[in-house]
Amino acid sequence: MQLTVLGAGTCVPVEGYSPAGYVLRRAEDVVLIDAGPGTLARLERAGIRYRDLKLVLFSHLHPDHTLDLVTLLQANNATPGWKRTEPLQVAGPRGMRRFLERLYQAFEGIAPEAYEIRVDELGESQHDIGGWHLATGLTGHTPNSLAYRVEAEGHTVVFSGDAAAVEPLARLARGADLLVCECSFPQGWATSDHLTAGQAGEVAHAAGVKRLLLTHLYPAALEQDPARQAGAMFAGKVDLARDGYTTDV
Ligand SMILES: [Zn+2]
Ligand SMILES: [Zn+2]
């Protein structure tokens, strides 16, 4: 599999750290994970056509992870000379269906016109969706926020989404090849709904993952060498994500 980070940041504008978006490619297809504002343009830059998306996963419904779903739905109806006819599979936390209904009410022209959207609302379980083997766990960021464990081609990558608790995430990430972990704040900046760099390192250590990729970085985290802070807790390889960061898993 190949991972490309489309957005390594948050809602706060920082050059090179756009709102959340990730794409995983395997031989036959791709899956998009989260779609913060601008994700579709960066997907295009990564060489993947929005027309080819079959499956989109959402960790939770905050705007920095979902706003470009609106763009995707509009483009599916309104691309000159093309209309989507293939079904689109969308999976997300509990509340995903109601969220979509509310988007259709808020934005003209985005309700599917010539295709079907299939929605799965996920809790804590295992799923085979669109040919991808997934496991999900709750992260404590919001009551329904999800982390995803994706297994394909003999390798495992775990996406924390936004997360607040170390232990459940460590359980989901057990033995993964790569943990893509939110790292909102620097060490010592503890909050009830996000992880610090030190906590991201703790998750990686407790889970025994091979590599840790830090993402969802607010400016305060970026200013304080988060890879070093996480690395103090975790002996494996630590990388710092940035828009466009690509790695094989
Ligand atoms: Zn976020
Ligand atoms: Zn959030």
Q: Which tens digits make up the pLDDT trace of 14-73?
A: 999 999 999 999 998 999 999 999 999 999 999 999 999 999 999 999 999 999 999 999
Distance 82 CA to ligand 1 centre (A): 32
Distance 62 CA to ligand 2 centre (A): 5
Q: What is the pLDDT of residue 69?
A: 98
The percentage of residues in the chain with a pLDDT greater than 70, rounded to a whole number, is 100
Residue-number span of the structural domain to which 75 is assigned = 2-248
| Average predicted confidence (pLDDT) for the chain | 97
Q: What is the pLDDT of residue 122?
A: 98
Average pLDDT value for residue range 173-200: 97
Strands 146-152 and 132-138: antiparallel
pLDDT higher than 90, residue 7: yes
What's the CATH number where 66 sits?
3.60.15.10
Specify burial of residue 244 (Cβ count, 10 A radius: 0-12, 13-18, 19+). middle
Q: What is the pLDDT of residue 76?
A: 98
Q: What is the pLDDT of residue 147?
A: 98
Q: What is the pLDDT of residue 131?
A: 87
Distance 62 CA to ligand 1 centre (A): 7
pLDDT higher than 90, residue 249: yes
pLDDT higher than 90, residue 4: yes
H-type alpha helices, 63-212 = 63-78, 96-106, 166-172, 197-207
- The answer to whether the pTM exceeds 0.95 is yes
Question: How many domains, in total, are found in the chain?
Answer: 1
Residue (of 211, 212, 178) closest to 195 by Cα position:
212
Among the bound ligands, the one closest to the CA of 34: 1
Q: Which tens digits make up the pLDDT trace of 117-141?
A: 999 999 999 999 988 999 999 999 9
Positive or negative, the CA dihedral 190, 192, 195, 199 is positive
Strand, helix or coil for residue 93: strand
CA dist 163 and 145 (Å) reads 8
Side-chain-facing half-sphere of 86: CA atoms under 13 Å: 11
**Single-letter amino acid code for the residue at 102:** R
Distance 57 CA to ligand 1 centre (A): 14
Among the bound ligands, the one closest to the CA of 140: 2
